[in-house]
């Protein structure tokens, strides 16, 4: 049973800080295919941003077009994208994106570095974009970035996060991601914040997106699971990190998280060996060890196809 939904963000969040070597289009498609074969629920193919700012995302349009044109590829996986502005949204619709993700940072400093806009300025634009996407029939997820703390501003007042969530709900948007952009979250904080959100917004569908900057990513996932969260964003190999935060560090590793779920008898329909395949390929491509744990303990020849 798909009681837990995995949104794989390695192709976007995992690759966006990689500046030394640009992953070729053909390689990205190969990795996407492998993750689709794994039966991941949602795959974030990339972001529609200016290639000068994030060179690794320059091929996002072409990846979507490949899967749009090759309809014979069997998949149960929804293909999502991240957009920051109206132009990106238009590109996504044209390229064939199936789900749109967009968000606002609870940190004004991070917001300005990431989008060139204040939190308040970005909020109005994101809500209007989300409503336009929903009007056109697309699934939409909005986020509160730096929800658990900011590398520049430190602690973020909880009410600032709650008020953003309330603004989203007032606009009719109920799928909301809480992103730990700077990796400052800790389990007790996760429990407290999720409990409060549930108390004033029981109808909201929360997604949790944790980074492992200080080693607490999996512990935070456990706290979120205990709080009843069913949607998680993770990245193969534990890759990634926001290029516009103070200390960029990887996401919770998808195969590590899936391994935990399967030890608990959950999400046994996901083929974790396919995710591990992707991580092994990425390790070879970048010629370095990645942050994930499981793939370092697994024999590639016996585990992966």
- Give the Cα separation of 248 and 211 in Å (integer): 9
Catalytic hit among 81, 208, 242, 253: 242
Structure tokens at 153: 């501003």
- The secondary structure of 92-104 as a DSSP string is HHHHT-SEEEEEE
Q: Under a CB-based contact definition with an 8 Å cutoff, are residues 87 and 130 in contact? A: no
Question: Is residue 303 among the annotated active site residues?
Answer: no
Report the DSSP beta bridge partners of residue 81.
46, 100
Classify 138 as helix, strand or coil. coil
Classify 206 as helix, strand or coil. strand
Cβ burial 41-50 (10 Å sphere, 16+ → b, else e): bbbbbbbbbe
Closest CA to 292 of 38, 14, 40: 14
Active site residues: 242
């Amino acid at each position: 049973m798909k009681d837990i939904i995995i949104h794989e963000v390695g192709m976007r969040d995992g690759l966006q800080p990689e500046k030394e070597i640009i992953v070729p289009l053909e390689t990205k498609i190969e990795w996407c295919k492998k993750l689709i074969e794994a039966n991941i629920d949602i795959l974030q193919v990339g972001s529609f941003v200016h290639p000068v700012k994030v060179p690794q995302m320059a091929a996002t349009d072409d990846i979507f077009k490949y899967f749009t044109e090759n309809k014979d590829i069997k998949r149960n996986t929804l293909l999502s994208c991240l957009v920051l502005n109206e132009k990106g949204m238009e590109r996504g619709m044209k390229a064939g994106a199936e789900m749109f993700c967009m968000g606002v940072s609870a940190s004004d400093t991070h917001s300005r570095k990431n989008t060139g806009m204040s939190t308040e300025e970005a909020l109005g634009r994101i809500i209007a974009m989300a409503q336009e996407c929903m009007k056109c029939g697309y699934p939409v997820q909005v986020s509160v970035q730096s929800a658990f703390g900011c590398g520049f501003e430190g602690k973020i007042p909880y009410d600032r996060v709650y008020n953003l969530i309330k603004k989203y709900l007032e606009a009719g948007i109920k799928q909301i991601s809480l992103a730990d952009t700077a990796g400052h979250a800790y389990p007790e904080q996760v429990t407290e914040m999720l409990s409060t959100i549930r108390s004033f917004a029981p109808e909201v569908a929360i997604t949790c997106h944790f980074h492992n900057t200080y080693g607490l990513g999996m512990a935070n996932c456990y706290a979120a699971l205990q709080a009843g969260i069913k949607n998680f964003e993770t990245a193969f190999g534990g890759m990634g990190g926001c290029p516009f935060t103070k200390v960029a560090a990887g996401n919770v590793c998808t195969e590590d998280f899936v391994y935990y779920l399967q030890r608990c008898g959950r999400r046994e329909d996901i083929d974790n060996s396919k995710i591990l395949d992707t991580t092994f390929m990425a390790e070879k491509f970048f010629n370095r060890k990645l942050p994930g744990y499981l793939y370092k303990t697994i024999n590639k020849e016996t585990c992966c196809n």
